[in-house]
Structure 1
Amino acid sequence: MSHRAAVLLMLLVTLLWSTAGAVSRHLDSARGFEVTFWRSAFNALALTVLLPLLRGRDYWRHALPRLRRSPPVLASGLCWAVMYTAFMLALTMTGVANVLVTMALGPLLTALFARVFLHQRLAARTWVAIWVASAGIAWMFASEMSAGPSAWLGMGVALAVPVAAASNWTLLQAAAVAARARTQADTDADANEGDGGIDLLPAVWLGALLSALATLPLAWPFAASGRDLLLLAGLGVFQLALPCLIVVRLTRVLPAAEVALLGLMEVLLGVLWAWLLADEAPSPAALLGGVMVLAALIGNELLAAWRRPAASTSGEMSL
């Protein structure tokens, strides 16, 4: 896959991710932990069907035994579970913009994690983009915090999302690096596992299952209407299962910091959908911060496209 195709697919992923806030505002009676439970349960169900379609009907017979013996997959699954649970729970506690603004801290945390744990050298333009985007997020944060104490609690829960996401992207990046190394050294049979002998797709399923199991006792008794279940099923399949499978594949092409930086588009799109479809209008300060985030994203990608031919010629790895 080319870098340009990977970037375009990542933007599609953020488009699908960004629908959660607006859709959750149209639920009739499902609230709190029940919303998280149903979305995660439908996600797990969709992945149970999708993964054998992608990898063969005997997929689970081979994948489940390996799952228990693979610490990276278990760790990634735990990260996905935290992301699924904290995100949807935070949406039921505070505004969409508050949650998405907090999540946008992810690129800075991812860049720091990749630098510390993977020893990746980040280009100066990437650091500039991260800090400009972070400044925009801080500006939005200061504005949205005027909503009151409940916003602080919701954003505190939402803070778990970028921490878990940064950990997950770094873990997936480490697996991708190992995959490239093994592809060069091992047999074709080993390389066909997809991630250097470690299949990370079940981690997405495991995260959904853990999230559903953790929230089930707190979601009872159920109050969701038939319309709620239809909307939450749509979120589970199209807002979680499909884009999360895609992003696991993209981490083999895009550096962790770039995945997180492109993921900031979810903030802008999510606020836009909430504004247009759920009448949650962001403040002028939030809009200004969003413009700063978008400028950082576009600037980083344009500079990357301009410098990539030179880097390829010299053999330099530049994020």
Structure 2
Amino acid sequence: MRLTHGAAVWLMVAVTLMWGTAGVVTRHLTQAHSFEVTFWRSFFTMLALLVILPVWRGPAVFAQIRHGGRALWISGACWTVMFTAFMVALTLASTASVLVTLSLGPLFTALAARFFIGHRLPARTWIAILVAGLGIAWMYGSRLAGGAGGDWLLGTLVALCVPIAGATNWTVVQHAHAQGNEVDLVPAVLIGAVLSTLVTLPLSLPFQASTRDLGLLAFLGVFQLAIPCVLSVLCARVLKAPEVALLALLEVIFGIALAWIGAGEQPALSVLTGGALVIGALVFNELLALRARRTPAPDEVLPGAH
């Protein structure tokens, strides 16, 4: 399936809207908590992908998993960390704090490219990293000075695992690509869902989720994660890396707005201020990067699903 550029842009907007539903849906859970939330979302994601992938890619997709090599399984482990840490963070900290922390992903990836692959970073990226760092420091400092609880701090620290794992994933995929070994992201996402399900199962017992909770978590597994994961892979084949990074930032806006409107979760002023610095730095960096591109071909980019 090959998308036009315009269709890919609008589809990526829809993807970010689906990603952005995680916070508001999680706030309406009544009995499921912590690792059980992660388990059920990953479980339903796994079931959905086991149906979607053979239909989309054919039964050969499972052979790719068996013969994918070490890089594929490391990528799958990175997806496991992202899937797990994101939901655990949401049960501990506010949606806005978690999403602002996750938005650091492109800058962490840039740093990983600099120190592990040797990519030279332009001055604009170093400036963006500095400004984003100031934004995060302001958010953390203001929240802690204002008496934010230990759960909030733990939640945001857990959320940091997501962009770190994402940067690691990108580095592994790029290293494999340089050695002539292409990592297929689609089976890697399935591996991540399976491993997340297995890892969180013993931590989730005894189950406490109500029937309503299971319905909401099934929605998250299918429509917030599985389907947008597949769609984002399609978009990443058409759009340039800066375009994907810019559009992915809409998740922060959608996620905060949906949690505010749909669950009454008003973000703290310090989070909005720090988040504005982070988002502004990212937009500045990616717009300049997009302007500097002269080739029409899409860049190597990993979707930011979590």
TM-score (norm 1): 0.80
Inter-CA distance 61–211: structure 2 relative to 1 (3 Å threshold)? closer
Inter-CA distance 306–95: structure 2 relative to 1 (3 Å threshold)? closer
Correspondence 1:217 to 2:225: no
Name the counterpart of 2:63: 62
| Counterpart amino acid of residue 36 in structure 1 | T
Give the Cα–Cα distance (whole angstroms) in 1 for the partners of residues 240 and 100 of structure 2: 22
Counterpart secondary structure, 1:81: helix
Give the Cα–Cα distance (whole angstroms) in 2 for the partners of residues 199 and 120 of structure 1: 23
Shift of 1:169: 2.6
Inter-CA distance 119–262: structure 2 relative to 1 (3 Å threshold)? farther
Give the Cα–Cα distance (whole angstroms) in 2 for the partners of residues 129 and 9 of structure 1: 27
Query: Which has the larger displacement, 39-48 or 289-298?
Result: 289-298
Name the counterpart of 1:156: 157
Query: Which has the larger displacement, 287-296 or 197-206?
Result: 287-296
Correspondence 1:34 to 2:36: yes
Structure 2: give runs of 5+ residues left out of the alignment.
302-306
Give the Cα–Cα distance (whole angstroms) in 2 for the partners of residues 257 and 118 of structure 1: 19
Structure 1: give runs of 5+ residues left out of the alignment.
183-195
Shift of 1:280: 1.3
Counterpart secondary structure, 2:92: coil
Correspondence 1:203 to 2:188: yes
Shift of 1:7: 5.6
Inter-CA distance 75–254: structure 2 relative to 1 (3 Å threshold)? farther
Name the counterpart of 1:282: 267
| Counterpart amino acid of residue 293 in structure 1 | V
Name the counterpart of 1:243: 228
Name the counterpart of 1:74: 73
Give the Cα–Cα distance (whole angstroms) in 2 for the partners of residues 100 and 157 of structure 1: 12
Is the 8 Å Cα contact of residues 271 and 282 (structure 1) preserved in structure 2? yes
Shift of 1:10: 4.3
Give the Cα–Cα distance (whole angstroms) in 2 for the partners of residues 242 and 297 of structure 1: 26
Give the Cα–Cα distance (whole angstroms) in 1 for the partners of residues 285 and 238 of structure 2: 17
Give the Cα–Cα distance (whole angstroms) in 1 for the partners of residues 118 and 239 of structure 2: 16
Shift of 1:166: 1.2
Shift of 1:216: 0.9
After superposition, residues 113-262 of structure 1 pair within 5 angstroms as 113-145=112-144, 146=146, 147-174=148-175, 177-178=177-178, 198-249=183-234
How much identity, in percent, do the aligned residues show? 54
| Counterpart amino acid of residue 292 in structure 2 | R
Inter-CA distance 264–77: structure 2 relative to 1 (3 Å threshold)? same
TM-superposition CA deviations, 1:210-250 (whole Å, max 9, x none): 11111111212212112111111111111111222334455
TM-superposition CA deviations, 1:64-117 (whole Å, max 9, x none): 4214xx111100100011111111112112222232233233222111101222
Is the 8 Å Cα contact of residues 103 and 279 (structure 2) preserved in structure 1? no
Shift of 1:155: 2.0
Give the Cα–Cα distance (whole angstroms) in 1 for the partners of residues 183 and 292 of structure 2: 32
Large movers: runs of 4+ above 6 Å = 1-5, 254-258
Give the Cα–Cα distance (whole angstroms) in 2 for the partners of residues 128 and 65 of structure 1: 43
Inter-CA distance 44–229: structure 2 relative to 1 (3 Å threshold)? same
Query: Which has the larger displacement, 251-260 or 129-138?
Result: 251-260
Q: How many residue pairs end up in the alignment?
A: 295
Give the Cα–Cα distance (whole angstroms) in 2 for the partners of residues 94 and 284 of structure 1: 15
TM-superposition CA deviations, 1:3-26 (whole Å, max 9, x none): 776665544433222211111000
Is the 8 Å Cα contact of residues 112 and 168 (structure 2) preserved in structure 1? yes
Shift of 1:273: 1.8
Is the 8 Å Cα contact of residues 16 and 239 (structure 1) preserved in structure 2? yes
Is the 8 Å Cα contact of residues 108 and 131 (structure 1) preserved in structure 2? no
1:52 aligned residue (48, 54, 57): 54
Name the counterpart of 1:16: 18
Inter-CA distance 95–61: structure 2 relative to 1 (3 Å threshold)? closer
Shift of 1:30: 1.0
Name the counterpart of 2:84: 85
Give the Cα–Cα distance (whole angstroms) in 1 for the partners of residues 109 and 292 of structure 2: 22
